[in-house]
Amino acid sequence: MSVLVSNQSYDFNSLKELLGVTDGNLASHIKALEREKYISINKSFIDRKPNTKYKITDKGRQAFKKHLDALEAVVRKQRL
């Protein structure tokens, strides 16, 4: 989600390389995000090779922001 919120879209292989995870690991996380409608999937072909791109949805963006806000709130409270 951190990656998708900072980029217009990101494809499967670039995500795999950046996060350093296996195909299966990434796929299961993506499935969970897609089930929550936090990301959208765009499958196409580039040079006859399948290429899957992911985009964050508005719902996903809001959820991510809430998550960050919650984390920061806890940190701020513990500091007082």
List contacts with another protein (CB under 8 A): 2-3, 5-7, 10-11, 14, 17-19, 68, 71-72, 74-75, 78-79
Residues 8, 55 contacting (CB under 8 angstroms): yes
Instruction: For the beta carbon of residue 10, count every other beta carbon within 10 angstroms.
Output: 18
Separation in Å, CA 63 to CA 2, 38, 40? 12, 8, 14
Residue 34 Cβ, how far from another protein at the closest point, in Å?
19
Residue 39 Cβ, how far from another protein at the closest point, in Å?
14
Closer residue to another protein in complex, CB, 11/34: 11
